[in-house]
Amino acid sequence: MNAVDIINKKRRGEALSKDEIEYMVMGFTDGVIPDYQMSALLMAICLNGMTKEETVQLTGIMRDSGDTVDLSDIKGIKVDKHSTGGVGDKTTLIVAPIAAACGVPIAKMSGRGLGFTGGTVDKMESIPGFVTSMERDQFIRSVNEKGIAVIGQTGHIAPADKKMYALRDVTGTTESIALITSSIMSKKLAAGADAIVLDVKCGAGAFMKTYEDARELAEWMVDIGKGSGKSMTAVISNMEQPLGNAVGNALEVGEAMDVLKGGGPEDIRNLSLRLAAEMILLGGCAADRDDAEKKALEALESGKALEKFRVFVANQGGDERITEDMNLLPQAAFAVEVRADEAGFVTGLDAMKIGLASQHAGAGRQKKEDEIDMAAGILLDKKTGDEVAAGDLLCTVFGNNKAKAEAGAEEARAAYTIGTDRTEKPELIKEIID
């Protein structure tokens, strides 16, 4: 086989065979196919798509490129949760402790940031001392004893995805149903959970811009998961504007703790409770959806979820004092305010522009080798539907590089649209597919 012939075939919009997909994926994983040829194939896939059969084959090849995890030594039904990526999405840090506090064993592998969206592993690594890698025995023991462990994807789990994921992040090849499906499901099927809850985003700040595309992605992933014997639920949620008020690693950890303490923005609180309830239901810890919702709320309001978060952080080497003193999280040297030039209402807040502004301020990577500024990011004071007066604070951009923070502030300013008529806040949860 020849890599150029395969690239040209997909560039013409033709379907690839299993052997052709395997030749490219495994050749790239083994270092035989260079970055530039895999980048060309990924771009051709983004432009021309893949059939569901191609996607099933790609998912299986990526899953089988490394180890599969046996979680049978963990007691109970293991439930995983995955988001397709969004701006300000820190739900894992809230959902996992809530579900664990209700008796669901959480044995989760998470990823790093991709494009303009943040990654759970990056957020967790902003906690001083927090370790995102464990040996298998320690991982199993942590879940059995503490009820929860969240680690980064190891080099042994779907290594093909790990290499392709890093390449997609810096080559503009993130927005593809086939690539997103295969990336998520190859890891999830290899990671050993019995059930999976998917949070599929749609809107300006998501890889799927429309509800129709998000629904197609959700259905593809649910079908692939069920076909592999997993219990599956997908929640389609809105990402027209950022989720919560904090965007950026340490800032998002702080907001997650606000929610676990009973506060925090309404949207991130409500979505987290919805996702946690779905995990509790699939985990067999509730009689029905209403019962699961009540248990999730009780775990949050009683403080049990916060205590589970504290145990989780301490068990993975993190400084649990952050739950009492958020100043122990990374702090930025510079803060640049963005203020309204006119009075009116916020009629639009472009999540993608805010995500890019945060990334460019230092909170994300533009090249594979970039170091993340854990303190960088954006705190939003105004969102869609809010009234503003001239001079009101819209948001603040943080960072340890003044020039980057100032550039991020200019981008954040362009994300706001202010008009004379009040706009309703966007509907958060659009549909549940199970």
Instruction: Please state which of the ranges 91-95, 262-266, 367-371 shows the lowest mean pLDDT.
Output: 367-371
At residue 364, the pLDDT reads 79
Rounded to the nearest angstrom, the gap between the alpha carbon of residue 105 and the centroid of all alpha carbons in its chain is 20
pLDDT classification of 310: cutoffs 50, 70, 90 = very high
Question: Is 81 tagged catalytic?
Answer: no
pLDDT at 288: 96
pLDDT for 156 equals: 83
Q: Is residue 280 predicted with pLDDT exceeding 60?
A: yes
Burial class (CB in 10 A: 0-12, 13-18, 19+), 84: buried
Residue 118: pLDDT band by 50, 70, 90 thresholds?
low
| Encoded tokens for 11 | 């560039």
Mean pLDDT of the 385-389 span: 96
Catalytic residue (choose from 10, 187, 383, 404): 187
Average pLDDT over residues 410-415: 97
Q: If you average pLDDT over residues 334-350, what whole number do you get?
A: 97
pLDDT of 84 higher than 90? no
Per-residue pLDDT for 114 more than 80?
Answer: no
Residue 85, pLDDT > 70, answer yes
Sketch out the chain's domains with CATH numbers.
Answer: 3-49 (1.20.970.10), 79-326 (3.40.1030.10), 331-419 (3.90.1170.30)
Which has more confidence, 122 or 41?
41
Report pLDDT for 379.
98
Residue 115 in this model has a pLDDT that exceeds 60: no
In sequence order, which residues have a C-beta less than 8 Å from that of residue 33 and are 6 or more positions away? 3, 24, 27
Assign residue 327 a region: left if phi > 0, alpha if psi is -120 to 50, beta otherwise?
A: alpha
In whole angstroms, give the CA distance from residue 238 to residue 268: 11
- Is 413 tagged catalytic? no
Q: Identify the three-state secondary structure at position 427.
A: coil
* 208-218 tens-digit pLDDT: 889 999 999 99
* 201 Cβ contact partners less than 8 Å away, ≥ 6 residues apart: 83, 84, 85, 86, 89, 207, 208, 214, 236, 237, 238, 239
Residue 385: name the closest of 353, 341, 344 by CA.
344
Instruction: Establish whether 168 is a catalytic residue.
Output: yes
Catalytic residue among 163, 168, 383, 404: 168
Q: Spell out the alpha helix ranges (H) of 77-158.
A: 92-101, 120-124, 136-146
How confident is the model over 211-227, as a mean pLDDT?
Answer: 94
Q: Assess whether 288 carries a catalytic annotation.
A: no
Dist CA 432 CA 265 (whole Å)? 22
User: For the segment 142-155, what is each residue's pLDDT rounded down to a tens digit?
Assistant: 999 999 999 887 76
Q: Please, which pLDDT band fits residue 368 given cuts at 50, 70 and 90?
A: low
Average pLDDT for 170-194:
91
What is the identity of the amino acid at 186?
A: S
| pLDDT above 90: residue 425 | no
Count of helices and strands (H, E) across the chain? 16, 13
Kindly indicate the confidence band of residue 162, based on its pLDDT and cuts at 50, 70 and 90. Answer: confident
Find the catalytic residue in 39, 65, 110, 183: 183
Least confident segment among 83-87, 114-118, 212-216, 250-254: 114-118
Q: What is the mean pLDDT of residues 267-287?
A: 97
Per-residue pLDDT band at 366 (split at 50, 70, 90): low
Mean pLDDT estimate for the chain: 93
CB atoms within 10 A of CB 288: 8
Q: What angle do CA 100, 297, 434 make, to 5 degrees?
A: 70
pLDDT at 415: 97
Q: Which of 122, 161, 169, 199 is catalytic?
A: 161
- Please return the burial class of 176, using the count of CB atoms within 10 Å of its CB with bins 0-12, 13-18 and 19+: buried
Query: Residue 175 — pLDDT band, cuts 50, 70, 90?
Result: confident
Query: Which contiguous run of DSSP H or E holds residue 258?
Result: helix 249-260
Let me know if 360 is a catalytic residue. Answer: no
Percent of the chain with pLDDT over 90: 82
Contact 367, 388 (CB under 8 A): no
